[in-house]
Amino acid sequence: MQMNKVLLFHIDSCTGCGLCESVCSLVHTRTTNPARSRIRVVREEPEGVYIPTFCQQCEDAPCIAACPTVAIGRNQLTGAIEVDRDLCALCEQCIEACPFRGIYPDEIDQVVIACDLCGGAPNCVLFCETKALECLESDAAVAQKKQQALQDWRERLSAVEEQFQSATKQA
């Protein structure tokens, strides 16, 4: 029986503290190294904008289609995207295919990593003090909430990227 959980974020609640990154890397790698976390926070410090990025568990996951070694698939129990470490060639085609910047290279283990929802109880949610992250059972209302959150995410990230490009051109 598939659980179909959805990890949602509330972009205006994120303070950029990085606790989610630390907890995630600790749970998955036994190190507190944000570069090995399955959730990343894009930080635009001068504006105080913090944008969490992680696997959105897309229904038609472009990462799965892009993987030439069939290393990416869905967990039959949780429905979460998972990477088979033994099959991953670290070609990064899945990273390029991800529209949400939710797959990352783990240079130490030489594989790509993506949120696996921690088996249905994401630790990042448990430790997020501002409740910027929540994990809900998927239904029509939650799907609508997720779409709104993704739209907000795209708008906020586009604005940050535009500001960065403007600043780079002026420098």
pLDDT tens profile 33-86: 999 999 999 888 777 888 889 999 988 999 999 999 999 999 988 889 999 999
Architecture of domain 5-170: 2-Layer Sandwich (3.30)
pLDDT band (50, 70, 90) for residue 3? low
pLDDT for 107 beyond 70: yes
pLDDT attached to residue 157: 75
Separation CA 85–CA 80 (nearest Å): 15
Cα-trace Rg, the chain: 16
pLDDT for 141 beyond 90: no
Residues 6 or more apart in contact with residue 9 via CB below 8 angstroms: 52, 54, 132, 133, 134, 149, 153
Decide if 71 contacts 49 (C-beta within 8 A): no
In the chain, where the domains are located: 5-170
Average pLDDT value over all residues in the chain: 88
The pTM of this model reads 0.83
